[in-house]
Structure 1
Amino acid sequence: MEQSSSVMLAELFTASDPPPFALVRRRTRDGAGPGEFEVFTGTMDTVPRVTDLPAGPPRPGGGPHALALLPYRCLAECGLDCRDDGTPLRVLRIRRRYTAGVDALAAALAAARHGTEPAWDDAGFDGTDAEYADVVREVVDHDVAGTGLHVLIRRDLTARLRAHGPAAVGALFHRLLAVEPGAHWTFAVYTGGPRGAALAGASPQAHVRVRHGRVALSPMCGTLRLPPGGPPAAADLVAFLRDRKESEELGAVIDAELAMLCRVSDGDIRLEGPQLRPLARVLHTACRISGSAALSVRHTLAGTLFAATAVGRPFADACRVIARREPTGRGYYGGLIALLGHDGEGREDLDTAVLIRTFEVSGQGRLKLSVGATVGPRSAPAAEAAETRAKAAALLSVFEGAGRTGDGGTGRDRPGDADRAMRPRVTAPEPLDPPTRHPSVTAELARRRARLSAHWRDPVRPGGRPESGRSVLLVDAAGEETAALATMLRGLGHTVEVRPWGAVVAAAESVDPRTTVILGPGPGDPFAPGDDRIAGLRGLAARFLARGTPTFGFGLGFHLLLGGLGLAGTVRPWGGAPAQHEIDVLGRRVTVGYAGTHTVSAGPDADIRARRLGLNLWYGPHRGEPAALRGPRTGGFAFHPASVLTVEGADLLGLLLA
């Protein structure tokens, strides 16, 4: 097989009119031997939308029938802001599939003889580190401050390849296998013809996977730059895991992807991790969340565009900032490479990787590598610039020894100018297993895990709780957290209907007064004048409270209840990132997750008025700002009970609605 696969690869690399092909090594592929990868050939098409990807009949024994390249501009299908740069949604309709090994690849490249050694000219970033740091500073000052936003801002390295074609793409893949052995997927996709376009990358991150009837997402965040001389000390890993900025970023990303998962799953959500994901030059923290699959793989893909790691949170706000701040479209950066198929029993199967740490190569041999850093309230601009270089370092080392021309006076920042981490390293880094398994590191990971939602870590299985008998109308106030809240409520035994706020406003009189109404979380000032959404929600709170309908609220919904009950004072922007706080509420000392865009203080006589109404108020970490309310037929929390940062969220929700 090794000899025949090398011959077939050599034919691909030397053909005068080569067909489209893909070379893919997946860590998730069952039965893959050391150094083995998959080879796919077929026809390359484009489709207009993600849901237009081919469904394909099951093949005998299972396997993929299509490989898709989803550009970032697919976010427009979800109504989200993005620059439409025309990057095509490509699909390789697989006609032939076989496995090969690294030795066969090396033999095939040797047979090709020329154009197989990666080399470039005119390589440089689109601006200096100082200029990128200035952009980060602008984003922090004008987009992040006062909002708690996290957003990934990219920069691009471009170059001109000295040789381009199928053999050069195969050589890039060969080198990527060597320099980034810890990648989730290592891949090269060639669109066909003597000078086709290509993608070649070593992605560290899975995104969405469907297998055996379950759908899983793999949020990843936090970046530790590794020392050039070897693995980090265990003490450095512990310090990284305790870093508040990194833990807040991961919590925000998990919440964003939990919201995605709950939209494409019908329950049984489980959270695993966090764990460390070591790569050649950097290390990340990652989790896995999974649930029962509810949709086809095409609609699952369409419902999970894209990984929050590559965009930010709140997701829609991050998209708007990216569209405004980044000067050009993203191409494939932040999109997905996906394999669609069936398992051996004919069930749909989906495997993906996030298109980061990926070279885009045009048919003219122009190369682009996009890298970015997540900018949040605690960002240090110079550190974020250094992080982008560290992320690029392993991929750029595939060009070690290649000649590089200067910047020609353009001011472009050459790859080797600023950071020792960018200098090519001849051998792959030492394995990181010993320090990642150190007792102090495993203990810190266990501590981090214990500070995530107990419900999602160990959710109540069907039959684990008695039916509550409540029929719940959850009003969607445009909050990302709504889907997760609905899933948690159903897990507690409630029957839940989710309706957009506008639909509830239009039919408020028809709501059964015995129904429990929950005003959901969402963005915005709860007392903003001239905002139709806020005005409509405020009217709903007043109407339902006045007629005695059981009415509860969370986040924005909680603040609207405070206003409707005459307990609210002033409103202020929430200036921090999503964060955990320990507070006393409902007779317990609990750890809860705060997020959102605004917070509300209590009015001057709020405690007196609350007692007159038979209500109990509890206050949060900031003086004078209510955190919880409970009374006859009403109550709520300022924090988000379904957030992964609220450890006892399900228990608190159960007590509130009991």
Structure 2
Amino acid sequence: MKDNLLERVLGPTPPPAYALLYRQGHDQAEIIEGDVVDVDNLADIPLHDADGTVREVLALVPFRQVRERGYQAIDDGAPLRCLRVTARQEVPVQMLREALPATLPAIEGRGFDVPDQDYIATVSAVIGDEIGRGEGANFVIRRDFLAQADADGARVATSLLRRLLERERGAYWTFAVVTPDIILAGASPERHVSVNNGVATMNPISGTYRHPQGGVDPASFSRFLLDTKEVEELFMVVDEELKMMSQVCADGGQVLGPFLKQMSKVTHTEYLLKGHTSLDVRDVLRETMFAPTVTGSPMQNACAVIARHETKGRGYYSGVAALMTPEASGGFSLDAPILIRTAQITPGGEVRVSAGATLVRHSSPQGEVAETAGKAAGLLGALGLEAAYGAGFGAGAGSGAGSLQMAPEDIDELTSSASRVVPQPQGTPQPVPGAQTATELANDPHIRAALVARNRMLAPFWLAEQHDARSAGLTGRHAVVIDAEDRFTTMLAHQLRHLGMTVSVVPWAQVAADGEIPLPPDAEYLDLVIAGPGPGDPTDRSDPRMARLRAAVQRRLRDQAPLVAVCLSHQVVATELGLALARLDSPRQGVQLTIDYFGTPARIGFYNTFTARVEAGNSSPVRLSGGVEASIDPATGDVFALRGRGLATLQGHAESILSIDGIDVLERMVRHALGNV
């Protein structure tokens, strides 16, 4: 008789290591048994036996693994755990649900490890001291809800899985993974990355609407769609994941959406990014550690900020589970959800549920407390801990405030689409009789129209497929992009290749102290250097990264060699030209502005805390010494762009998803620096 793996896994003597999975897009639930192997690096994940036999592997990748990329993380010792699959079975999800334990063990909630007031203080510090100093656009800081069950961890995980299968909706993976000392169970809403037949997909999700009791109120949901903080969060994480897609996909990444991701307690907004890759799936995992939705951006600095402000390691929170399955083509598919909305459980029944809030310049500290509670609500409810978290789990729109920094016509379209759902209430919002369910909300044509209207803010370049290079007459030109610790450089490199150039990315540390830049192996000389963006204070002379950027800029300016400079490097160029720098009262992180780019209006995305500034009241452009001219904001004197002989700079990011006119501006910059070829 064929072995019934489900009965064996849930029987009195289960195997030491197994997983129960219900994955989005799959008709059946999957039961997996495997041998446990812990490895040091992603490249060591054992996809082949010693004799060459291919293996399906389920890997649990902890957050500390990000150190493999040279990024900071508190080392809590969580292993990179692999289950080499030895047996698997597929069953109807109803069969799995009915086979799981019907009752929960008793679980005592002990509350969040970081009290509300302490978390508020941390949020305020991150906004003021990190975002306010130019360390990045957004950061995710988490706290943990702790509980103790009176049963072993495997029983907690399997009984929790049943309740999640009964209660939760919209999850990408609903799962339980049991190994001798590490047990995880949850319902993750978010695919991090998948690869199928060479097509890579990422799924940035951000913006959180907490469902009021009694159903979703379309009026409050329409206000959520217009909330500055929620919209900026989503656009910024799309930018961050496009950096990753540009690294792993030769044709960059096409942005599809937006869509709604509806869970039992919250609804998120999301996009899908798709592109073609030829990389080993383990390399795809490595190059995409980890999602900006659970870390922040730019990624390297976000990890440093997390290490400064969180008091202990994350374990598997914000890491990934990665199922790698052999394909008929000889490669492997990859399916990797982010480990959020996931309980980390010890064999002795200790339960930890982590939840983080994305902090941006518009964040309300009190609202972010509610956001962490709201994100944990579905899992804690499934654990029977509703009373433990109580009224702290607010409902309604997100935690931001303010109105969108958009063109008036875009606001009109969004507002019109959203307000047609129900009339906007006057004064304090009241419960709406017959409030819609999440499913009805997703299908409402006016809500769909309001979502699609967001794309009017986004660059058409990234909304389209990018297989074919643009005919720009730049073929054969060699360029080096200096990476100053912001992977916007990967998007810059992709767009430059789209313009026909041959491009290499060089870390700032490889720039010599005298500013000399190493030649790529296939180039005898450099046509162009692009000094890239990065976090930090450009006036900090003690920072070695700033020193190397400054040396590279000085050398190119001295030699009148073609130079393009972006954001941080634009500021470095400005100081070399004698312009003053000022710290903005309100950082421009994920802000879209229409600028006068030397006679042509251009809508460009900005991520900056510092700005070069000339006297206000002048019309743009302003003539500077040495034949350099500056595109400025006449009202403030802020310098948006510079150009001179062999020089073109931009304070904004032509490569950003927010830069509607970005590819055209970048081409103009390159042509000007090269002498208008």
> Which residue pairs with 2:139 in the alignment?
151
Q: Does structure 2 conserve the Cα–Cα contact (< 8 Å) formed by 1:272 and 1:289?
A: yes
CA distance in 2, matches of 1:444, 1:63: 47
- What's the offset of the Cα at 1:598? 2.2
Answering whether residue 534 of structure 2 is matched by residue 530 of structure 1, we say no
Q: Secondary structure at the match of 1:524?
A: coil
Residues 322 and 478 (structure 1 numbering): CA distance in 2 closer, same or farther, change over 3 Å? closer
Q: Does structure 2 conserve the Cα–Cα contact (< 8 Å) formed by 1:21 and 1:41?
A: yes
Aligned with 2:33 (options 33, 41, 45): 41
CA distance in 1, matches of 2:453, 2:98: 49
CA distance in 1, matches of 2:393, 2:582: 45
- What's the offset of the Cα at 1:203? 0.3
CA distance in 2, matches of 1:655, 1:243: 34
Aligned with 2:463 (options 426, 447, 457): 457
> Which residue pairs with 2:244 in the alignment?
260
> Which residue pairs with 1:408 in the alignment?
none
User: Which moved further from structure 2: 523-532 or 42-51?
Assistant: 523-532
> Which residue pairs with 2:260 in the alignment?
276
> Which residue pairs with 1:173 in the alignment?
161
Q: Secondary structure at the match of 2:392?
A: coil
- What's the offset of the Cα at 1:164? 2.0
CA distance in 2, matches of 1:137, 1:169: 36
| Matches for 1:238-257 after TM superposition, within 5 Å | 238-257=222-241
CA distance in 1, matches of 2:533, 2:559: 22
- What's the offset of the Cα at 1:575? 4.1
| Matches for 1:205-224 after TM superposition, within 5 Å | 205-224=190-209
- What's the offset of the Cα at 1:205? 0.4
Answering whether residue 438 of structure 2 is matched by residue 432 of structure 1, we say yes
* TM-superposition CA deviations, 1:414-464 (whole Å, max 9, x none): 323534779xxxxxx974232233333222222211211211112543254
Q: Does structure 2 conserve the Cα–Cα contact (< 8 Å) formed by 1:629 and 1:635?
A: yes
- What's the offset of the Cα at 1:199? 0.4
CA distance in 1, matches of 2:203, 2:94: 32
Answering whether residue 43 of structure 2 is matched by residue 51 of structure 1, we say yes
> Which residue pairs with 2:408 in the alignment?
none
Q: Does structure 1 conserve the Cα–Cα contact (< 8 Å) formed by 2:46 and 2:55?
A: no
Q: Secondary structure at the match of 1:239?
A: helix
Q: Secondary structure at the match of 2:259?
A: strand
Answering whether residue 516 of structure 2 is matched by residue 508 of structure 1, we say yes
* TM-superposition CA deviations, 1:60-98 (whole Å, max 9, x none): xx9970101111111111121111011121111101111
Q: Does structure 2 conserve the Cα–Cα contact (< 8 Å) formed by 1:146 and 1:573?
A: no
Counterpart amino acid of residue 258 in structure 1: L
Counterpart amino acid of residue 125 in structure 2: E
Residues 513 and 613 (structure 1 numbering): CA distance in 2 closer, same or farther, change over 3 Å? farther
Answering whether residue 62 of structure 2 is matched by residue 75 of structure 1, we say no
User: Higher relative contact order by CA 8 Å / sep ≥ 6: 1 or 2?
Assistant: 1
Task: State TM-score, norm by structure 2.
Answer: 0.85
Q: Secondary structure at the match of 1:505?
A: coil
Q: Secondary structure at the match of 2:554?
A: helix
Answering whether residue 489 of structure 2 is matched by residue 482 of structure 1, we say yes
Q: Secondary structure at the match of 2:146?
A: strand
- What's the offset of the Cα at 1:633? 2.3
Answering whether residue 584 of structure 2 is matched by residue 600 of structure 1, we say no
CA distance in 1, matches of 2:224, 2:116: 23
**Percent identity (aligned):** 35
CA distance in 2, matches of 1:351, 1:548: 49
* TM-superposition CA deviations, 1:289-325 (whole Å, max 9, x none): 2222142111111111111111112222222222122
Aligned with 2:341 (options 357, 364, 370): 357
Answering whether residue 352 of structure 2 is matched by residue 368 of structure 1, we say yes
CA distance in 1, matches of 2:305, 2:630: 37
> Which residue pairs with 1:189 in the alignment?
177
Q: Does structure 2 conserve the Cα–Cα contact (< 8 Å) formed by 1:574 and 1:599?
A: no
Q: Secondary structure at the match of 2:238?
A: helix
Q: Does structure 1 conserve the Cα–Cα contact (< 8 Å) formed by 2:611 and 2:639?
A: no
Q: Secondary structure at the match of 1:159?
A: strand
> Which residue pairs with 2:567 in the alignment?
555
Task: State TM-score, norm by structure 1.
Answer: 0.87
- What's the offset of the Cα at 1:198? 1.2
Counterpart amino acid of residue 516 in structure 2: A
> Which residue pairs with 2:654 in the alignment?
641
Aligned with 2:213 (options 205, 221, 228): 228
Q: Secondary structure at the match of 2:151?
A: coil
CA distance in 2, matches of 1:125, 1:389: 9
- What root-mean-square deviation, in Å, do the aligned CA atoms of Structure 1 and Structure 2 show? 3.1
Answering whether residue 392 of structure 2 is matched by residue 418 of structure 1, we say yes
- What's the offset of the Cα at 1:565? 3.7
CA distance in 1, matches of 2:186, 2:454: 31
CA distance in 2, matches of 1:334, 1:473: 33
> Which residue pairs with 1:494 in the alignment?
501
Q: Secondary structure at the match of 2:67?
A: helix
> Which residue pairs with 1:328 in the alignment?
312
- What's the offset of the Cα at 1:105? 2.5
Give the number of aligned pairs.
Answer: 624
* TM-superposition CA deviations, 1:336-368 (whole Å, max 9, x none): 011012223333211110011001110111111
CA distance in 2, matches of 1:328, 1:68: 23
* TM-superposition CA deviations, 1:125-175 (whole Å, max 9, x none): 224434433332333333333435422111111111122254443222111
Residues 606 and 562 (structure 1 numbering): CA distance in 2 closer, same or farther, change over 3 Å? farther
Q: Does structure 1 conserve the Cα–Cα contact (< 8 Å) formed by 2:324 and 2:333?
A: yes
CA distance in 2, matches of 1:249, 1:355: 19
CA distance in 2, matches of 1:66, 1:509: 42
CA distance in 1, matches of 2:386, 2:481: 61
- What's the offset of the Cα at 1:489? 0.8
> Which residue pairs with 1:540 in the alignment?
552
- What's the offset of the Cα at 1:580? 1.2
Q: Does structure 2 conserve the Cα–Cα contact (< 8 Å) formed by 1:389 and 1:421?
A: no
> Which residue pairs with 2:126 in the alignment?
139
CA distance in 1, matches of 2:194, 2:365: 34
CA distance in 2, matches of 1:130, 1:599: 34
- What's the offset of the Cα at 1:597? 4.1
Residues 290 and 620 (structure 1 numbering): CA distance in 2 closer, same or farther, change over 3 Å? farther
> Which residue pairs with 1:23 in the alignment?
20
Counterpart amino acid of residue 225 in structure 1: R
- What's the offset of the Cα at 1:16? 2.7
Q: Secondary structure at the match of 1:435?
A: helix
Q: Secondary structure at the match of 1:595?
A: strand
Aligned with 1:384 (options 368, 381, 397): 368
CA distance in 2, matches of 1:330, 1:622: 46
Which segments of 5 or more consecutive residues in structure 2 lack a partner in the other structure?
Answer: 397-434, 672-677
CA distance in 2, matches of 1:215, 1:290: 6
